[in-house]
Chain A
């Protein structure tokens, strides 16, 4: 039987419980979003005692299914004021699942705001341990100290930014080599964790494993899925993701005129090649030493899209330079220096910041005159300022929306107060629809229409053509909600979109674990159900249609090189929810 671990921070009590029947067979985003709907008051303050933070591994997380070490963190978002599910790949997810936990919940608020706690979890339950020595500590040192103290545990934690309750704070997890580098980055849930005084959670690794309803079916599915991943040009060993990392997208988005440059003033960055995945791979090879491509965020990934960036002398600098961070702290700021980008990622990892929100915010800060575009030294300084907790640091640490207000900037690329990721909506219309209508705020992973619009994966759709994009985004958003519940990395979908047997295999692994008989139709139906739940919470939290809108400047300013605005009307956008 699956169990929950519920931690009441007001009473400082930890208890194991049997989940209600209605949660049977739920996992990942499905579980976190349903739980938030059932248990969290939509009117609560995201940093107050009535918000709850829930962690849930996916259906197949903790099994030997490929690329399935994913976890969903959920709560009411300090950044958007709506529901949040923020997904990460980490061994922490696998250990939690193998201990038999369907969910781990932090609720209430401790009386002593200055106190810090470590939650220690094993198969028996958990205990709260007072940890004043960790207060204000960066995530690198936090993980080192916790390992010294607890041995081979998996760890999740919040950095100084989360302790200072900044809306840009993510939740950090270790990678397989214990780097503080994997993040439930988006939406500020690190601040919610910080508000509860929980600095870190340590989990024992020796769990008995995930129960399976039909292990034969699981194995059949696992083989099909692994084969699909090994055969697809994008996901296979030596394929694009494995060889060049996700930053292989820099050049193609730039060629498509969809790589936001200088705070979304253009879709082209002339120096794009200097920060592209190809250059990262070349440099890693040339510098030698501790750098590597083909790194994995969690054991058992076939794709291995992560990397470790070396300094010029070959010593390790940071993991990882992925597309979003490379863009947000690079192209978006007119910075073409990978070592500077690496340093900014390092600071974000240590302070506990979402790299996307950090880069978007720095873009707005540059627009507001706090630094010149292209000035990487000043950009690094501004990030350090966040860690110092100065008034300016706190403004920046609360994201692009607040920083724009503080500086009187009107070109602020946010939806529901969340910074836009690395695709320009004026050049790629479908992803714009996703940013605008997603329950999560501007989020590319919520409905990755880039696949057909730019990558010709899962069909082809002209990125500049507004026709049909609402339907396209809706289908992607629904499918994604299911994948985010499964425990699989979203990147398996690149192979599944082009391989029927891979898709079948994915479903068989899910059915094998859960004892269900889900079909392709169920994937869409369940996904839609999840979206509706999330929408319901957002409405009750006070988000309306007026929050499903694109920033005004994107309707008025024509974006080079295509000289287009975002043309899909508000009425058309509202139709996304007609289902």
Chain B
């Protein structure tokens, strides 16, 4: 198992197990789990995910989660 920290943003906050305003939460995932597995586990429809950062780097859905990773999951966002 790997211990990670997860945060969901903007309209994806509704999938936070602690509620939309709970912020970052710890999670244990199976060794070898990918970001896609994580979305499934959290019940986040993958078509709603646009961008994922792991430890400040953008990662694709097949990224394999590592012990201590901090994951930030975003729907489409923009601004200026």
Contact = CB atoms under 8 A, between A and B. Distances in A.
Interface of A: 232-235, 239-241, 243-249, 251-252, 255-257, 267-268, 273, 276-278, 282, 305, 322-324, 444-445, 448, 450-451, 454-457, 462-464, 490-491, 494, 561-562
A296 B13 CA distance: 25
B80 A252 contact: no
A405 B53 CA distance: 38
A305 B79 contact: yes
Contact of A240 (B7, B57, B78): B78
Q: Give the one of B23, B50, B75, B77 with max A CB within 10 A.
A: B77
B9 A455 contact: no
B72 to A, nearest CB: 4
Contacts of A247: 79
Q: Give the one of B9, B51, B53, B72 with max A CB within 10 A.
A: B9
13 contacts: A233-B75, A240-B79, A249-B79, A252-B51, A252-B53, A257-B56, A278-B13, A445-B80, A454-B51, A455-B78, A462-B58, A561-B55, A562-B56
Interface residues of B, number: 23
Contacts of A305: 79
A234 B56 contact: no
B78 A444 contact: no
B62 interface: no
Which applies to chain A's interface (DSSP): helix, strand, loop or mixed? loop
B53 A256 contact: yes
A215 to B, nearest CB: 31
B80 A448 contact: yes
B41 interface: no
A241 B79 CA distance: 7
A240 B58 contact: no
A255 B72 contact: yes
Contacts, number: 96
Given A255-B72, A455-B77, 16 more contacts: A233-B50, A234-B78, A235-B78, A244-B77, A246-B79, A246-B80, A247-B79, A248-B79, A252-B72, A252-B77, A255-B74, A273-B23, A278-B9, A323-B79, A448-B80, A455-B76
Nearest to A490: B80
Contacts of A323: 79-80
Contacts of A464: 57
Nearest to B79: A246
B33 to A, nearest CB: 20
Contacts of B11: 240, 243
A244 B51 contact: no
A448 B79 CA distance: 10
A463 B79 CA distance: 17
Nearest to B9: A251
A252 B51 CA distance: 9
A295 to B, nearest CB: 15
A5 B9 CA distance: 48
B28 interface: no
Given A240-B11, A282-B21, A457 B56 contact: no
Contacts of A257: 56
Q: Give the one of B23, B58, B75, B80 with max A CB within 10 A.
A: B80
A451 B77 CA distance: 10
A239 B50 CA distance: 13
Contacts of B23: 273
Interface string B1-32: 00000010111010000001101000000000
Given A243-B10, A248-B10, A268-B56, A444 B77 contact: no
Contact of B56 (A249, A276, A561): A561
